[in-house]
Amino acid sequence: MTDTDERVKHFLTTQDWSVDELTGLLELADQLKADPLNDSLRGKSVALLFLNPSMRTRTSFQVGAQQMGAIAVVLAPGQDAWGVEFAPGVVMDGDAEEHIAEVAGVLSRYVDLIGLRAFPKFRDWSHDRTDSVIKALAQHSTVPVINMETIVHPCQELALMQTLRGRFGDIAGRKMVLTWTWHPRPLNTAVANSALLIGTRFGADVTLLCPSEEYLLDPQFMDAAKANAEASGGSLQVSHDIESAYDGAEIVYAKSWGALPYYGHPEEEWRLRQHNKHFIVDEAKMALTNNGVFSHCLPLRRNVKATDGVMDADYCLALDEAENRLHVQKALMMTLAGAK
């Protein structure tokens, strides 16, 4: 939870939204998938601030806004817009030309919604784990803020859930494996944190499969997922054994992430990482599942994180999940803008 104006409903993490609210978003997303065009946001606007690269998030928000009559303004602070300082009380004699207090204040007067992508800096996890950048935006914004990926990726969670509901109806009681997968360098834990949160929230029996204890996710997400599972009737287990984790799974969700004890020290992390190329998702592992589906948030390096055979299989839902980003974000924009 964040210390923001409680009169403004933000979308910073799905944990701030009830299961009923999330289900409402997913039902609206299904309606928008069937009937994509409407005028519900005519005259409205959304500012999309990207501190990091994006293909899917940027395109789906822009197209989604346009399909409902709104305009989207894309800004890359530090590149095509002034660099922004997010910390309070700083003597701003570095690179940033303006403070988030003014950026949020000005944008709140121009637009109806503000989205932000701000990956962690990969220097100090004790700082990055507080998600202070998007919280600073929400604190100073008088319009709803949408998390487009920080240390969680809640829009991706919604898209994953729309995809799984489309395939299974209900994921309660189904075995879902969140598997760490191989990648040549340490990546953000956001999508892994998010998959853990949303799977347990909707009652799946989630197994977190990772090479060793060093790859466990931050306790704030492990604990939240355990609490989610208790509330939903699902479960959360940790495994380092590939065969037993895949055995009987109906959902395999893959992501690579960095080992938090070595955060900011990629050379040291490599000493651990280099021994785990066999975590790649391949056809042999998928054959252990119970006719399981596979998905990934994308982008994905083929034959590094998952084989061509997995990516091209009928059971791969990665493109459906990417498409569903469009529908869930439209539902989110309509809801936050009070247009439903």
- For residue 298, the minimal CB distance to ligand CP (Å) is 5
Amino acid residing at 121: K
Q: Which two tokens mark 261?
A: 């004890």
Q: What is the closest distance, in whole angstroms, from the C-beta atom of residue 253 to ligand CP in the complex? A: 13
Size of site (CB under 6 A) for ligand CP: 9
Q: Is 297 an interacting residue with respect to ligand CP (CB under 6 A)?
A: yes
Closest CA to 177 of 128, 96, 238: 238
- Contact window for ligand CP (CB under 6 A) among 11-19, 127-135, 291-299, 306-314: 291-299
Which of 19, 101, 222, 298 binds ligand CP (CB under 6 A)? It is 298
Min separation Cβ 56 and ligand CP, Å: 4
| Residues of this chain, 39-58, that bind ligand CP according to CB under 6 A | 54-57
Q: Which H, E and C letters describe 80-132, residue by residue?
A: CECCEECCCCCCCCCCCCEEHHHHHHHHHHHCCEEEEECCCCCCCHHHHCCCH
DSSP-assigned beta bridge partners for residue 254? 179
Choices 37-45, 198-206, 275-283, 292-300 (CB under 6 A): range interacting with ligand CP: 292-300
Q: Are 118 and 133 in contact (CB under 8 A)?
A: yes
- Burial environment of residue 201 by CB neighbours within 10 A (0 to 12, 13 to 18, 19 or more): buried
**Taking CB under 6 A as the criterion, which residues in 219-248 touch ligand CP?**
none
Amino acid identity, position 262: Y
Q: Any binding-site annotation on 274?
A: no
Annotated binding residue 149: yes
Ranges within 156-195 binding ligand CP (CB under 6 A): 156
The DSSP output letter for 173 is T
Residues between 131 and 150 with contacts to ligand CP, criterion CB under 6 A: 149
* Part in contact with ligand CP (CB under 6 A); list of ranges 63-71, 106-114, 249-257, 294-302: 294-302
Q: CA-CA distance, 8 to 123, in Å (whole number)?
A: 32
Residues 52-91, one symbol each (x = binds ligand CP by CB under 6 A, - = not), give --xxxx----------------------------------
| Residue length of the chain | 340
- In this structure, are residues 39 and 174 in contact, taking their beta carbons and an 8 Å threshold? no
The residue (of 55 and 90) whose beta carbon lies closer to ligand CP is 55
Closest CA to 329 of 129, 144, 134: 144
State the distance between the two ends of the chain, measured CA to CA, in whole angstroms. Answer: 25
Residue numbering of the annotated binding site for N(2)-acetyl-L-ornithine: 149, 255, 298
Interacting residue ranges for ligand CP, rule: CB under 6 A: 54-57, 149, 156, 297-299
Which parts are annotated binding residues for carbamoyl phosphate? 54-57, 82, 117, 153-156, 297-298, 325
